[in-house]
Amino acid sequence: MKSFFKKFFALLIATSLTSAGHAAAKITKIASPDGNLVVNLYTGKGQLAWSVQRQDRSVYLEDGISLTVGNQTLDDKNAPKSIKVRKVSQTIKPVVPLKFSTIQDDYTEATIDYGTYQVLLRVMNNAVAHRFVTKFKGEVEVKNEKFTIHPVEGFTAHIQVCSSFNTSHEEAYQHKSIEEWKKDAYLATSPALLSAADDTQLLIGESDLDDYPHLFLTYKDGITSTFPKYPVEWEPWGDRGEKITKEGDFIAKTQGTRAFPWRFVVVTDSKGIIEQTVPVQLARRSVLTDTSWIKPGKFSWEWWNGAAPFGPDVDFKAGCNFETYKYFADFAAKYGIEYILLDEGWAKSTRDPFQGNDELRLPELIKYCNAKGVKIVLWLPWLTALNHLDTLFKTYAEWGIPAVKIDFMDHADQWMVNFYKKVTAEAAKYHIMIDWHGAFTPAGLEYEYPNLMSYEGVRGLEQMGSCRPENTTYIPFIRNAVGAADFTPGGMNNMQPQQYHASRPNSGAMGTRAFQMALYVVLESSIQMLADNPTRYYQNDDCTRYIASVPTTWDETRALAADAGKYVIVAKRKGNKWFIGGICNGEEERTFNLKLDFLSDGQHRLTAYKDGLNAGYQAMHYNKVQQSVNRNSTVEVKMVKNGGWAAVIE
């Protein structure tokens, strides 16, 4: 069968379905509502696959589609009983909108019915997705699930290569030809991006992940799905990890009647990757009837900067104590920052989430912060959350803690996926938000439970010298393209890579000052950290006021310029204000002329922070400029290597 489809796909590209070599397959043509994507679905006995064309160009073939349940493999051995096609048009209003407050969801969907199971194939204007739906009695063991993607020649894969399924999803992206991936059969996290020279982009991912392991990818006769096995026995490893001592011979034990996760391929260009909302469209809707207590915002965070204020107003011994956090609270209150995060060290023991260290005076600190209009967020290892789940959130709600940061899961098997949901649902009962660190990538739970505000699973600023602009410029096109990423930006000690030398407490961020400021617009997360020291922010008041003013949720998003991994400039609207952020890698200086035709009528004031003339060497050099603009204006944007541009229009 595999050889049939390989030959068939070659013929498909060469002859556009005129070859007689595939006459045995039934061909059902399914077009997206706007006609941009056309899928040719091939069914019959021994045949289940589809090829995808974008604007009349063949892009990829997907085959090898199967789900093994117990001793039965659901695949293409039998011809389907029926194929029914329907069209859907609806609107979605996310509780926490990262790109758009209203999303138009149009698609054409084929239901391929085999009797005891179905394959749903959804063709959207910019993506193709599929899932299994089964109708078996009781509980079943899923041994494996397979699908294989064969892109046409010329694509480069941008992937996070991991040595095992035990990963925090923080690896730097590697850039491999398909032949290189084939040769070394790398294990990679999802999502993964495939890029072609003509700017065709394929983003492979999943949505509506529930009671099932997270998707990984490898290469075996094509880009192929693979999953961690179910952990049958494990033992704690220190205070924040576990060692799996026995795995099952299955990937999931689940209900026999259910819908399995969506597997999608976004098919678009670089700008389209920035604007697409496919993971939201495929996810479940919120199960929470009251979401008024979910409050996106910004966090002042002490871990990255070593909790060591050093300004002339510091007359106390810095550390994890009342005076230091009081200083952080005062800073947050001054700039309208909603939260301060107490990371590791606030508790007497990482295993006890209820006892603050003596110097912290936690009840007094909470009272002080409340009086300032600032809320405290607490960090926890996931094992501590697990061991105290029966009372954890009830107690925190009584204390007035609105959110927690839970860390170090580093696994993505079915048990861990279910742990995320169990904890997030329990937190929602007590109106507590969650920020998952040491986490796999978003896959839909954040829409079912919108109190899940962000995930890490990204090479962010905490990686210090390993957080390089050439990697960060890929994040909007890969990791952030599937959901919120807690990158923790905001470094004020800026350096070009060739000058970089920094460590806590004088932490440093690669890229220019304007690069760091622009990240607050470019990167998506409904909570954003201000990672640097309040003293540094006081010293850079203009920059801090801009950062503090940038929203974390948006009504509208427009990609103004983009080339995956090289540069991106995006405009985002909140109410009647537009914010613009642009970043680029270190290949070359870049100049753009941006049309502002998205503005409403009338005159507007643009305030921009741009790379200074010396920013290519002294990365902290920036200039603030202001000008009057309207919808007929064109603005010149210049970025040095590893540079940026940040603006607000009001």
Tens digits of residue pLDDT in 181-235:
999 999 999 999 999 999 999 999 999 999 999 999 999 999 999 999 999 999 9
Same fold, 24-268 and 301-551: no
Q: What is the DSSP string of 7-21?
A: HHHHHHHHHSS--GG
DSSP letter, residue 452? E
Q: What is the CATH number of domain 301-551?
A: 3.20.20.70
Query: Crossing angle of helices 541-549/513-522, nearest 10°?
Result: 10
Model confidence at 582: pLDDT above 80: yes
**CB 601, CB 594: distance < 8 Å:** no
CA 158 distance to own-chain centroid: 15
Write out the two tokens for 354: 């209820």
Write out the two tokens for 639: 């970025």
Residue 11's pLDDT is 43
Mean pLDDT of 520-524: 98
CA end-to-end distance (rounded Å), the chain? 59
Place of tokens 């029914």: 84
Q: Of the candidates 101, 83, 103, 95, which has an alpha carbon nearest to the alpha carbon of residue 29?
A: 83
pTM reported for the whole predicted model: 0.96
Identify the H or E element spanning 140.
Answer: strand 127-151
Chain mean pLDDT for the chain = 95
Residue 22's pLDDT is 43
To 5 degrees, how large is the angle CA 553–CA 559–CA 562?
A: 130
Question: In Å, how far are 215, 279, 327 from 563, measured between CA atoms?
Answer: 26, 21, 42
Q: Of the candidates 191, 201, 152, which has an alpha carbon nearest to the alpha carbon of residue 559?
A: 201
Write out the two tokens for 280: 């939201």
**Percent of residues in the chain assigned helix, strand, coil, to nearest 5:** 20, 40, 40
Model confidence at 411: pLDDT above 90: yes
Mean pLDDT of 352-362: 97
* Beta partners for residue 205, in sequence order: 264
Model confidence at 343: pLDDT above 90: yes
User: What are the pLDDT digits (tens) for 292-339?
Assistant: 999 999 999 999 999 999 999 999 999 999 999 999 999 999 999 999
Task: Write the burial class of residue 518 (CB in 10 Å: 0-12 exposed, 13-18 middle, 19+ buried).
Answer: buried
**CB 362, CB 348: distance < 8 Å:** no
Model confidence at 355: pLDDT above 70: yes
User: What are the pLDDT digits (tens) for 456-492?
Assistant: 999 999 999 999 999 999 999 999 999 999 999 999 9
Confidence band of 10 (pLDDT split at 50, 70, 90): low
Q: Of the candidates 60, 62, 58, 63, which has an alpha carbon nearest to the alpha carbon of residue 13?
A: 58
Residue 434's pLDDT is 98
Model confidence at 23: pLDDT above 70: no
Residue 25's pLDDT is 83
Would strands 173-177 and 188-189 be described as parallel, antiparallel, or unpaired? unpaired
User: What are the pLDDT digits (tens) for 128-143?
Assistant: 999 999 999 999 999 9
Confidence band of 356 (pLDDT split at 50, 70, 90): very high
In sequence order, which ranges of 488-621 are alpha helices (DSSP H)? 513-522, 534-539, 541-549
**CB 493, CB 502: distance < 8 Å:** yes
For residues 229, 203, 297 and 530, what is the CA-based torsion angle, rounded to 10 degrees? 90
Positive/negative CA dihedral, 536, 538, 544, 548: positive
Would strands 223-226 and 216-219 be described as parallel, antiparallel, or unpaired? antiparallel
User: Which phi-psi region, left, alpha or beta, contains residue 70 (left: φ > 0; alpha: ψ -120 to 50)?
Assistant: left
Model confidence at 622: pLDDT above 70: yes
Residue 9's pLDDT is 54
Query: Crossing angle of helices 322-335/541-549, nearest 10°?
Result: 70
Domain boundaries, the chain: 24-268, 301-551
Q: What is the CATH number of domain 24-268?
A: 2.70.98.10
SS3 441: coil
User: What are the pLDDT digits (tens) for 365-389?
Assistant: 999 999 999 999 999 999 999 999 9
Confidence band of 17 (pLDDT split at 50, 70, 90): very low
